[in-house]
Every structure is written in C-alpha cells, then in structure tokens.
C-alpha cells in the first residue's frame, strides 16, 4: 500500500494527530489489519479504492495491529479486519470482517455526513458566533437541497425562535415528523415554542386571583405558564405542582403535562429537574 492524500499508514506515534485530531474536521475510517490476514488483503484494496474515489469524504487510516497491539487493545479489536469510523475523536460506527464492496458503500453512505450535514455543522458554528443571519442562510440552503432534513429543520426553528419570528418557527417545527420530535433537542424546542407562544398576561392579576381563590386551578395554571415564559422556572413549577396536587384530571392532566414540558425545556441534567422530579413522582404515586 502507498500513502496517498486520502490513505495513510498510521502507528501509535502518529495516531493522535492522524486519527483523533484529524477526525475533528473530516471522518477517519481506521482499518486494523495484519499482513498474515487473508480477509484483510481482500478488504484493504476495496477501502483504499473507495477512499480515493470519494476524494475527501473520509480519510482511510491503515493500522497494522501486530505492530500496534496497544491501539488494537485500546479500541477493542478482537478480530481482523476491524474497521472503525472516528468523528470528533470518538468511534461512531464500525464493522468487522471483509464485507463486499456494495455493503461497504451502504455503510459509508449511512455513516458519513452528507453535504447537508456539513452545512448544518457550519450553521451551528454560526449560531455560536451569534451570527444568526448567517446561520439562517445556511439552514435555508440545507432545506432547499433536502426539505425533510431533521437537523436543518431543528436548526432553522432554533434560529427563528432566537430572532423572535415565532409563527415561522412554529411552521418550521411542524415540518418535523412526529417520530423525529422525540429527541432531547426536538422536545426542548417544542417546549420553548409552547411557552413562548403564551400571550402576555398581567402576572400580578393572576397572582391576586390565585391568592384570593387558591382552588382556581385555571388561574394557577395560567400563572405558572406566565412565570415560565418569563424564565421563572421554579416559581412556575410550584404552580403546576399545586394543580397536580389539587386535581390530577384538571384539563386532561394539564398540571403534570406542564411540569414535563418544563423539564423538556430545561434539558437533561438541569438542577431543577433533580429537585422537582421526585416531588412530582410523590404526588403521582401517593
């Protein structure tokens, strides 16, 4: 094998630079092989052919497992050929054995990021720079090429929300298929849209209604929603829990559903979830 622009011989000394660091900018397909391995001699030329043919969609890194046993052990190589795809310094997909070229092409088509995926990544980077107009342009480009691209739809929804273009954000999110609305990010956006769409109300009047009549669950629910819309999450959760405590069936279990929406809005790991989830469970299963 001769090294080319897209095919590299890698060993322990060059692994960090040629695989881990490189995979931060372009996927790296690592082929663990050995000279004595017959299936390796079958698979290797196919991988090299595809790497050169695809011209940069991925880099092929060839590692002789006999000469680099530490790397083989580190990445759980138990049989060769063993092929592992690195992106952002971690293994994201893999296969073992000498697959036919058609199956390897299928593997790569599913595992490698498309051009639209790359535009989404650039859109994320633009968001992080607070270049919302730049991100908007990139997400529109993604969806022009692939209208149902899930990450593109979520990215566009996210930017439209940040720009305060709520009706457009709702229309964009509605294009996300129901099965794709269950990811953490999608549920977070759905919760944001639910609360940001709440009409501006007089919180003081609602608070006065609740103080005057604590059993007015409609006012208590509205007060909780208004508080959450103003990012006063703990105070809003307190109101929703009171609704759950008073009447589980009120407006089709609206109190519990509101609590769950806030959890989705806050995202996994938020300290308020650890504080309020046990309290919700205690009410539900008392």
Helix (H, G, I), strand (E, B) or coil at 189: helix
- Do 148 and 175 form a contact (C-beta atoms < 8 A)? yes
- Do 10 and 30 form a contact (C-beta atoms < 8 A)? yes
Helix (H) or strand (E) holding 92: strand 90-96
Helix axes 254-266 and 233-246, enclosed angle (nearest 10): 150
In the DSSP assignment, the letter for residue 199 is: P
Task: Check if 40 is active-site.
Answer: yes
- Do 119 and 149 form a contact (C-beta atoms < 8 A)? no
**Catalytic member of 37, 51, 59, 138:** 37
| Closest alpha carbon to 196 in 163, 239, 230 | 230
Query: Beta-carbon neighbour count of residue 121 at 10 Å?
Result: 14
- Tokens found for residue 204: 């003081």
**Catalytic member of 28, 29, 40, 266:** 40
- The residues that are catalytic are 37, 40
């Amino acid at each position: 094998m001769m090294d080319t622009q897209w095919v590299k011989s890698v060993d322990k000394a060059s692994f960090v630079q040629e695989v881990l660091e490189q995979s931060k900018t372009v996927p790296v397909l690592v082929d663990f092989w050995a000279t004595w391995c017959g299936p390796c001699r079958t698979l290797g030329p196919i991988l090299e052919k595809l790497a050169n043919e695809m011209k940069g969609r991925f880099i092929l890194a060839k590692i002789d497992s006999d000469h680099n046993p530490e790397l083989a052990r580190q990445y759980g190589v138990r049989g060769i050929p063993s092929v592992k795809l690195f992106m952002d310094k971690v293994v994201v997909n893999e296969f073992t054995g000498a697959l036919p070229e058609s199956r390897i092409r299928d593997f790569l088509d599913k595992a490698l990021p498309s051009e639209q995926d790359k535009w989404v990544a650039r859109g994320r980077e633009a968001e992080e720079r607070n270049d919302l107009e730049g991100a908007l342009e990139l997400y529109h480009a993604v969806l022009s090429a692939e209208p149902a691209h899930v990450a593109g739809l979520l990215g566009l929804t996210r930017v439209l929300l940040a720009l305060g273009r709520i009706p457009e954000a709702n229309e964009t999110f509605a294009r996300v298929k129901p099965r794709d609305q269950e990811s953490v990010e999608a549920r977070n956006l759905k919760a944001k849209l639910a609360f940001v769409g709440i009409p501006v109300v007089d919180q003081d009047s609602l608070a006065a209604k609740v103080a005057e009549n604590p059993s007015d669950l409609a006012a208590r629910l509205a007060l909780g929603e208004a508080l959450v819309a103003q990012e006063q999450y703990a105070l809003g959760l307190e109101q929703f829990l009171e609704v759950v405590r008073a009447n589980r069936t009120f407006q089709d279990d609206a109190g519990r559903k509101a609590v769950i929406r806030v959890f989705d809005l806050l995202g996994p790991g938020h300290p308020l979830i650890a504080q309020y989830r046990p309290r919700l469970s205690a009410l539900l299963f008392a």
